[in-house]
Structure 1
Amino acid sequence: MSGRRCAPGLRRICVGRRADNGLSTGSSPLLSSPGRHEPLNDELPSIPASPNLAMASAAPPEPLTALSRWYLYAIHGYFCEVMFTAAWEFVVNRNWKFPGVTSVWALFIYGTCILIVERMYLRLRPRCPVLLRCLIYTLWTYLWEFGTGLLLRQFDACPWDYSQFRYNFMGLITGEYAVPWFCASFIVERLVIRNTLRLRFQEQAEPGRGRGACCAANGYVKAD
């Protein structure tokens, strides 16, 4: 290569090759050309933080408000009642139409009832085993169903009547529903309340921005 002349445009490349072959121990002109300075690893310029990342670090995600949790509990109870009455109609009358019925009052009844069960769960969790807690929830459900039913009956607005059941009391509650209420209490605690309490919401997140650091906070589930 010592007798070969390089074209002006390739001169720097040729010099670099000589350095690689051990013909030169100096630094390559590519790294030390006049007027040009390439930063070393410890001189790398700092990358400015993303606004979304800075916003996420400044305002950490917060738990859902009581009103938001009440809304989720109300929708859950409303949906479960429609599904339960549809399944009951099929079991009793073999009705393949699966007509599920409920009332708008169910939104307020279930939402408030489960929100109070949530408070019970937080207080009883370190003291009582899960089966005992579900038994307490079942007793509370009976009390709440009787109280709200008695109140609505004063205005001829109670949407349920258990008078045809054998173990009913005033047509407002019935012993035949003890097992379904117990199972429902177990599902509410283990699946609904626990997961709802783990949800976090980021106030500054912008909808529709993909999976950014800030936007990922909405719908984020806090790990135990």
Structure 2
Amino acid sequence: MGGCPKLLSPLTRWYIYAIHGYFCEVMFTATWAFVEERDWRFRGVTSIWALFIYGMAGLVQEQLYLWLRGHCHLLGRGVCYTLWIYLWEFSTGYLLRHFDACPWDYSHFHYHLMGLVTLEYALFWFVGSLLLETLVIRNTLRLRLEGLGPSPPRQLTHGHL
């Protein structure tokens, strides 16, 4: 083999978190439309910006997990993650709004801030962040790549490889 297994690169982990977030958003919006409007087409929507937003959010949450795991219980980490998500969602939405590119608007919710975040989603973000930690981040951090150098020559045994 080409050496000891290595942790996935930050770019690879970013990609995993980005695709996971993108998929979850499409499923969430499809489910929301079904519940509210009985839309049996089950069409979810998102934005290309979501890849960047979820990828970066996942990398930061990964680092929060590594930093907090020995000092804070699961529910405490969930609160920290939720606060991070609100900060990130507000910041990225604020920036995108300046380019008329913000894909979400929570102005129709009762407890929103500038239409960029809403407290009505707090439970979803809290549960989602804990699922991200326990199902995605922990498993992504366990993944390893074998060395990509040249493989040793294969030996013939009884005339077969």
TM-score, length-scaled by structure 1: 0.66
Deviations 1:66-113 (CA, angstroms, capped at 9, x unpaired) = 000000000000000000000000000011011100000000000001
- The structural deviation recorded for 1:203 is 2.7
Distance (Å, rounded) in 2 between the aligned partners of 1:135 and 1:205: 43
List runs of 5+ in structure 1 lacking aligned partners.
1-54, 207-224
List runs of 5+ in structure 2 lacking aligned partners.
151-161
- The structural deviation recorded for 1:205 is 6.8
- Alignment of 1:90 onto 2:68: no
Distance (Å, rounded) in 1 between the aligned partners of 2:44 and 2:147: 37
Q: In the alignment, what sits opposite 1:162? A: 106
Which residue of the other structure, out of 103, 107, 116, is the alignment partner of 2:47? 103
Which residue of the other structure, out of 87, 97, 114, is the alignment partner of 1:153? 97
Which residue of the other structure, out of 55, 67, 74, is the alignment partner of 1:123? 67
Q: In the alignment, what sits opposite 1:13? A: none
Aligned residues, how many? 151
Q: Which amino acid aligns with 1:160?
A: W
Q: In the alignment, what sits opposite 1:186? A: 130
Q: In the alignment, what sits opposite 1:71? A: 15
Q: In the alignment, what sits opposite 2:82? A: 138
Distance (Å, rounded) in 1 between the aligned partners of 2:34 and 2:89: 24
- The structural deviation recorded for 1:184 is 0.3
Deviations 1:118-147 (CA, angstroms, capped at 9, x unpaired) = 000000000000110011000110000000
Distance (Å, rounded) in 2 between the aligned partners of 1:159 and 1:94: 23
TM-score, length-scaled by structure 2: 0.91
- The structural deviation recorded for 1:181 is 0.2
Q: Which amino acid aligns with 2:69?
A: R
Distance (Å, rounded) in 1 between the aligned partners of 2:17 and 2:68: 19
Q: Which amino acid aligns with 1:75?
A: I
Which residue of the other structure, out of 121, 130, 146, is the alignment partner of 1:177? 121
Identity of aligned residues (%): 62
Aligned-residue CA RMSD (Å): 1.3
SS in 1 for 2:123: helix
Distance (Å, rounded) in 1 between the aligned partners of 2:67 and 2:116: 29
Distance (Å, rounded) in 2 between the aligned partners of 1:152 and 1:61: 39
Q: Which amino acid aligns with 2:65?
A: Y
Superposed, 1:44-63 pairs within 5 Å as 55-56=1-2, 59-63=3-7
Q: Using CA pairs below 8 Å that are at least 6 residues apart, which structure has the higher relative contact order?
A: 2
- The structural deviation recorded for 1:202 is 1.1
Where in structure 1 do 4 or more consecutive aligned residues deviate above 2 Å?
203-206
Distance (Å, rounded) in 2 between the aligned partners of 1:85 and 1:163: 17
